Copies of this chain bind each other. A is one copy, B any other.
Amino acid sequence: MDSHTPYTFSNRANQLTSSAIREILKVTTRPEIISFAGGLPSADGFPITELRQAFDTVLATDGRAALQYGPTEGYTPLREWVAQDLSTENVNIDVNEVLIVSGSQQALDMLGKLFIDVGSKVLVESPTYLGALQSFSVFEPEYVAMDTDDGGLIPAEVSTAKAAGARFLYALPNFQNPTGRTMSEARRQELVERCAAAGIPIIEDDPYGELRYKGTPQPSLLHLGRKAGATVVRLGSFSKVLAPGLRLGYIVAPAAIIDKLVQIKQATDLHSPSVTQMAVYEAVKGGFLQQHLPTVRDLYKQQCQYMLDAMAQHFPDNVKWTRPEGGMFLWVTLPEHMDSQELLHKAIERNVAFVPGEPFYAAGEPKRNTFRLSFVTVSEDRIREGIAILGQLIREQM
């Protein structure tokens, strides 16, 4: 062997760094840690019996198809189910507008491939979902941070000069990850109108929409966008309504975009597993989610309340936090001079973990005095214990 280096990575691969979250999550697998850091749904909400039955039925009755290659677009009955589930009296979603993917994360990767050239402008809420930033960043976009307030994304942001010519806006209108905030109908309407006028497609990521346990459901950007002439690509997932270990989700978009995504999906992994798609269809086809979701919502509502109660009791008055109407996360804002990264180091010494705010900011100045708490997988006792410790540490740092 001579002196050549053994291999050369691509520029994009060299720019990848191990994520801060990933490193935190490694620590949090220790059983003594009270972790508010994870993004895992509660396994207490998994319909294990029903899914076991669904896999068994599919393999017993249609095993050859369940184990064979399938169409890149996805299992047709499941696509039809999604189309019907999202259709309303006024908005018809066609099966050709639905593509099954291996979880929303894959949708984000494929949309990065579809829309992003090196340096393409991409609009994101500030803060936004870290996993989306990881997927998009592989394709080296230029992020433009859209300002938010307690009501979520501020729609006027997409009509500013900084947003002009963007390839898309990425937004999570319901119980946003990381903030737990929800956009009002008025804001949604204004957003789709402004995006239609500016020719900016919207990627509506809505993994938590079905997990609303309070307040009034808001119309989707997909539905409002259809009427306003906006291009909306909607991402849905079975991870939070059934189980994430299935790795199944879907993209709903105009057929011309789906056609291109099908080509991309073929080059990405041919298709999502036939057996899991058929089992999910078997599980949901008879209306099971309508019976099942109230259980999950009640569970999450209760968990959320445990945390809100504990925070009200233990956090100082000058700390602020969101009060989500659904989903899995809430967002804490410390006084401006404080740094949540420093708080985390002290918290981990006391066996409590969370995710500091900084990595959720794609561009501009991150608000280092923020952090994300997940309330769904920790027991009531340990929520109270963990929040008490955080409250004490915050007071010590003030």
Question: CB within 8 Å of B: which residues of A?
Answer: 1-2, 4-13, 16-19, 22, 39-41, 43, 46, 48, 51-52, 55-56, 59-60, 63-70, 102-103, 105-106, 109, 113-117, 120, 131, 134-135, 137-139, 167-168, 196-199, 201, 229, 231, 242-247, 257, 260, 263-264, 266-276
Contacts and interface: CB of A to CB of B under 8 A. Distances in A.
Contacts of A196: 1
A272 B260 contact: no
A56 B63 contact: no
Contacts of A264: 13, 16, 138
A4 B198 contact: yes
24 contacts: A1-B196, A6-B201, A6-B231, A7-B231, A9-B114, A13-B264, A16-B263, A19-B266, A41-B68, A43-B68, A48-B63, A51-B59, A52-B63, A55-B59, A67-B242, A68-B244, A102-B273, A103-B270, A105-B268, A105-B270, A134-B266, A137-B267, A268-B268, A269-B269
A70 B239 CA distance: 12
Given A65-B245, A135-B267, A276-B276, 5 more contacts: A6-B231, A8-B167, A10-B120, A46-B67, A67-B243
Most chain-B Cβ atoms within 10 A of its Cβ — which of A64, A114, A267?
A267
Contacts of A22: 266
Given A43-B64, A68-B244, A199-B2, A134 B7 contact: no
B67 A244 contact: yes
Q: Which of A17, A46, A68, A276 is packed against the most chain B CB atoms within 10 Å?
A: A68
Contacts of A243: 67-68
- State the oligomeric state as a number of copies: 2
Nearest to A166: B8
A135 to B, nearest CB: 5
A231 B116 CA distance: 32
Contacts of A272: 102, 247
A225 to B, nearest CB: 11
A115 B10 contact: yes
B5 A117 contact: no
A273 B257 contact: no
Which of A2, A51, A257, A266 neighbours the largest number of chain B CB atoms within 10 Å of its CB?
Answer: A266
A43 B65 CA distance: 8
A24 to B, nearest CB: 14
A249 B148 CA distance: 42
A103 B113 CA distance: 19
A314 to B, nearest CB: 29
Task: Count chain B CB atoms within 10 A of each CB in A2, A64, A247, A271 and give the residue with the most.
Answer: A247
A196 B55 CA distance: 47
Best-surrounded residue of A5, A16, A114, A275 (most CB of chain B within 10 A): A275
A307 to B, nearest CB: 21
A208 to B, nearest CB: 15
B40 A68 contact: yes
Contacts of A113: 10, 12-13, 138
A183 B344 CA distance: 56
Contact of A135 (B12, B138, B268): B268
A273 B70 CA distance: 17
A253 to B, nearest CB: 10
B246 A275 contact: yes
A269 B102 contact: yes
A116 B56 contact: no
A267 to B, nearest CB: 4
Contacts of A267: 16, 105, 109, 131, 134-135, 137-138
